[in-house]
Structure 1
Amino acid sequence: MAKLSSLPQRLGPAVSKLKQAPRDEISRTRMRDATQPWRAWYKTERWRKLRLTILERDLFTCQQTGVMLIGKYPANDSPVVDHKVPHHGDPVLFWDERNLQAVAKGWHDATKQSLERRGLA
């Protein structure tokens, strides 16, 4: 009887490439965004105050799922302040309270990112 490790792979390397493709795309996007000057805006006191204002306005409730945002990062129910319309470095869109919403990290990292990658958000 042949050992399992000696049997040829039926699906081959194409399967591993399919599994890695989205992660490679995500990595490229993150690397590109990391070099953008607007990334520093997230580290300012102005952003921290605005973020708290939005979370309080939205009563620490995800505006997409209704989940209470009571978790501590990196929990799926931890709070994220999301730009409804991606700002792409536009300061007007970045700082506009009407363009911000409180959402759950789980929703933001899965659904919202998927929508953005497909150009639907």
Structure 2
Amino acid sequence: MRREYDRKRRQSHPWRALYKTPEWQAIRAQVLGSEPLCRRCQAEGLITAATVVNHVERHHGDPAKFFSGPFEPLCKPCHDGEVQRQERAAEAEGRASPST
């Protein structure tokens, strides 16, 4: 079931392959090396190791935006919880908005 999900995700989001590139791996290492703590946890007074580099502005698959940032270091719970909820809400809002 997981393999099927991953296959469909790769087909619908081909830009996900950008995460495996040496360029992204270097950016990720630089961001986490220069700022090793989760930015959002720190704002709450918590000390948590950052393990994810988040794109602050959605790139929508555009390689130029993907590699240029801005980025923020986050822990996985912040990224997979708060950030993903915000992105889903923004997508739903965009779909609900009338076309111009």
Check whether TM > 0.5: yes
TM-score (norm 1): 0.59
How many angstroms apart in 1 are the aligned matches of 2:16 and 2:26?
16
Larger radius of gyration: 1
Inter-CA distance 112–82: structure 2 relative to 1 (3 Å threshold): same
Aligned residues: 82
1:44 and 2:16 correspond: no
Report the Cα distance in structure 2 between the residues aligned to 1:95 and 1:33, rounded to whole angstroms. 21
1:108 maps onto 2:84 in alignment: no
For residue 92 of structure 1, what is the amino acid of its counterpart? A
34, 46, 49: which is aligned to 1:57? 34
1:93 to 53, 65, 87: 65
The residue correspondences of 1:73-88 to structure 2 (distance < 5 A) are: 79-88=51-60
Q: TM-score, normalised by structure 2?
A: 0.71
Cα deviation for residue 37 of structure 1 reads: 2.5
Higher helix share: 2
CA distance in 1, matches of 2:30, 2:61: 21
Within 1, Cα distance between the matches of 2:67 and 2:56? 12
Name the Cα RMSD after superposition.
2.1
Aligned to 1:16: none
Task: Spell out structure 1 runs of 4+ moving beyond 3 A.
Answer: 30-33
Give ranges in structure 2 of 5+ residues lacking alignment.
Answer: 92-100
